[in-house]
Structure formats: structure tokens, C-alpha cells
Amino acid sequence: MFALLGDIQFDLITYFDGFESQFGADFAEHALIEGKPRLQWIGDKLDEIRIQLSFHTQFCDPERELLRLKTAKEAHQAMAMVLGNGDYKGWFVLTDVSATSKQTDKAGTLLALEASLTLREYVGDKKNPMLPPAVQPKLPPVAAKLLPANLTAKVASVGAGLAGAANAVRDNIRQAVTYANQAQSSIRVAVDAARLAQGLRANPMAALGQAAGLLSSMKQVADPLTKLSPVLASLTSQLPEAASILRAGTSALGAVRNAQGALSAINVGNVTGRIDYLSGRLSAAAGVLEAAVPSISKLAGAVVTRKI
């Protein structure tokens, strides 16, 4: 993940197309007789961030993602901006969203769009400043000095062990999120391929010719789902959310395996029924993974904001 805005994830490869920051300061100009005016600093302007985004059905549902952005704008709430490396940028409000449709299918379904966001810094009350979404405090230097040398060493050793365990959990979560996103992207391609094959039901030979491509598409879905299960299994004892994602991944993989089985012994006589069954199984798998998106986002957000 490249960044997290509130609970909205952005990925550098699939979403971000530009990230522009603007900083400024206000100066008052005082005129002088027979001389150039002098400037007096009044205060700093609010930081502003403009983000260019690209959405395509190969890796997301463009209309759903656009709706999420509109919902965030209409909520009028400040959201924390945190980059994937943990760099906290501050609190921002979403002031503008613009979108341009780039591609649709024959029925008008949106396939690709480009969007731009404008974020303005939100400083809140100076007497009660808004804190970063998560801060993992270290042992204060003064407190460390008060501990005996041997106890300090033990504390440091335990801390190092805990940090190593936490890093391992974060790495596993990142892997799980990557595999889940790959599976979702691949299943959209497979569903589209199945719909194309269904459109050829009047020409069984042409529909049969799509079988090899469908088999390849389903392998692209099955591979990340197969890798997803053991990674999630290692997290279930520590993170309850991982168990629900694991169930979704296992269910989706089972549906994909059934879809793959539909292509066994396929022929001109049964091609229509087999492809219809395959399409239904792929749609079921897509629905299961879609339902797991909130849990996946929650885990990813926890890693970025260092809550884990």
C-alpha cells in the first residue's frame, strides 16, 4: 500500500498517478515613501495536496471506488494521511473530487476513469491538537537511565524480540493483502472472460475456443488464493480479522476449483452449460472476496498506522 487516507487505501501501482503538495505563507505588504515596500510575515497557509488517481476494472470497481471518495467528501470529516512507510502527513479534509470517464463497454458500464482529489490541511484546535492515528512510544531515555544495567539489557532484549515478532506479523499482513488484491484483480478478468464466452452461446465452436483462455484466467486467480491461506493461518491466533479473511479465501478458492473442474471433458455438446456453471462459480468467488474487503482494509490500515 502506498498511502492511507482515513480508511481509504491507495496503491502506487493500481491507483496513484500523481501526488502534488503545496505549501505557502502569507505576507503583508507595507508601502514606503520613495522606496520598495516591506513584507511582514502574517502566518503560514494551510498545506494542500492534490492526488491524481487511475481506476480500471482490471484491478478495482471504478464506480465503487468513486462512490467511496464522494462519501468521504460528503462526510466533511478530517482524515489522517499516512504513507505506506509510516510517514504521517497530517490531518486533511477532502474538499474536491473530479472524475473523467475514459472507457465504457457497449452497455455504458464504466471500465476506466481518472480522478483527482484536493486535500486541505485541518489543524483543529491549537489547545487540543489532533494526534497521529497511532504512535508506539519508546522507553523514555530518562527512565532507561534509572534502570540497573542488567535490567536495562533485559528490557532491550525483550523489546528487540517483541519488535521482531511485530515486524514478522506486519510482513505477513502485507503479503496477505498483496495476495488478496492479486486474487481480486485476477477474478475480475476471469469473470469478464466468462461473460465473453457466454455471449458466444449461439456459436458453440467459438465458445469452446475460449476454454483455454478461461483455464489460464482461473489459474491466475487460484495461485494467489493458494498462497493466501497459509499466510492467514499464521495470523489467526493473533488477529481475529485474519480468520474471517481466511474463511473467505478458502471459500473463494473452492469456488474457483469447481469452476476449473467445469472445463474438464468440455465439448461442443456441453460447452454452454459448463461455461454457465463456471461463470456462476466465479461470480460467487468474486462476491466472497468483495465481502472480505473491509476486513482486508482494516488489517492493511493497522499496519500503515503502526497499530500492529
Q: What is the pLDDT of residue 40?
A: 93
CA dihedral 240, 243, 245, 246 (to 10 degrees): 160
Buried b (16+ CB within 10 A) or exposed e, 151-160: eeeeeeeeee
Q: What is the pLDDT of residue 31?
A: 92
Cα 104 from chain centroid?
Answer: 23
Is the pLDDT confidence value at 8 over 80?
Answer: no
Using alpha carbons, select from 96, 55, 50, 89 the residue that is nearest to residue 73. 96
More confident residue, 294 or 208: 208
Contact indicator for 197, 214 with CB cutoff of 8 Å: yes
Percent of the chain having pLDDT more than 70? 79
Q: Give the mean pLDDT of 230-237.
A: 82
Say how far apart CA 114 and CA 53 lie, in whole Å: 6
Is the pLDDT confidence value at 88 over 50?
Answer: yes
Residue 113: which H helix or E strand, with range? strand 110-121
Q: What is the pLDDT of residue 27?
A: 93
Residue with cell 473523467: 100
Residues 111-130: pLDDT tens digits? 888 888 899 999 887 777 77
Lowest average pLDDT, out of 77-86, 142-151, 179-188, 268-277, goes to 142-151
Band of residue 2 on the pLDDT scale cut at 50, 70, 90:
low
Residue with cell 522507553: 139
Band of residue 301 on the pLDDT scale cut at 50, 70, 90:
low
Q: What is the pLDDT of residue 117?
A: 87
Q: Give the mean pLDDT of 261-280.
A: 88
Please state the pTM of the whole predicted model. 0.56
Q: What is the pLDDT of residue 86?
A: 63
Say how far apart CA 168 and CA 40 lie, in whole Å: 52
Residues 245-258: pLDDT tens digits? 888 889 999 998 99
Q: Give the mean pLDDT of 286-302.
A: 77
Band of residue 42 on the pLDDT scale cut at 50, 70, 90:
very high
Q: Give the mean pLDDT of 20-45.
A: 91
Q: What is the pLDDT of residue 39?
A: 93
Is the pLDDT confidence value at 143 over 50?
Answer: no
Q: Give the mean pLDDT of 220-235.
A: 86
Q: What is the pLDDT of residue 142?
A: 45
Residues 209-225: pLDDT tens digits? 888 888 888 888 899 89
Percent of the chain having pLDDT more than 90? 9
Lowest average pLDDT, out of 61-70, 106-115, 299-308, goes to 299-308
